[in-house]
Amino acid sequence: MTGKSRDERIQDLLDRQDILDALTRFSRGMDRFGRETYMSAFWEDAEMAAGPYVGTVAGCWDWAIPMHEAGQLATHHSLLNVTYDIQGDTAHVETYYIFVGRNRDDSNWIAGGRYVDRFERRGGEWRIALRTNAIEWSGMLPTMDIPFADVPGILDNGPACRGKEDISYRRPLTNRRKPFNPAG
């Protein structure tokens, strides 16, 4: 950013934040099975190459969600390092990720790689125009019981779930659990 004016640096930060927001919408949409949230990360004419799938973003959703629904009880698409190369209304963005799935057979699948995206700014909004996925490693983790699952009232705020019933959609967010300190 050296040599840029304060206004140019602020615009760079705003562009990066808008791009990161789109990346986050993709992850949240996939994990909460929120098609509208997922689709809002991409332009309608975006292309996608993910695993064996190559085609439209909507087609990728139609392929991926039934696979995740049949295979996993929960998924987490965690975003890590993000590198931005912004040139005008086009940005090439590399995002490291870790994917974890709690499988229906009680195993846990973990994989990592990079999303390599071409973003385009249209009408002042950044969205993904092309995504390719570089999967770099994968493995299975042993399963353990979810911590504190046996604590009375632990699910009073609601269990983690896919869809609008998940606690993260509750507005206003409130705590339904009774005060308790295990230390006494």
Query: How confident is the model over 17-53, as pLDDT tens digits?
Result: 999 999 999 999 999 999 999 999 999 999 999 989 9
Cβ 97 vs Cβ 50: under 8 Å: no
**Helix or strand (DSSP H, E) at 12:** helix 6-32
Q: pLDDT per residue over 46-83, tens digit each? A: 999 998 999 999 999 999 999 999 999 999 999 999 99
Question: Does residue 1 have a pLDDT over 60?
Answer: no
pLDDT score, position 146: 81
pLDDT in tens, 3-20: 999 999 999 999 999 999
Residues 25 and 12: beta-carbon distance below 8 Å:
no
Q: What is the pLDDT of residue 48?
A: 97
pLDDT at position 92 over 70:
yes
* pTM attached to this predicted model: 0.90
Q: What is the pLDDT of residue 59?
A: 97
3-class secondary-structure state, position 183: coil
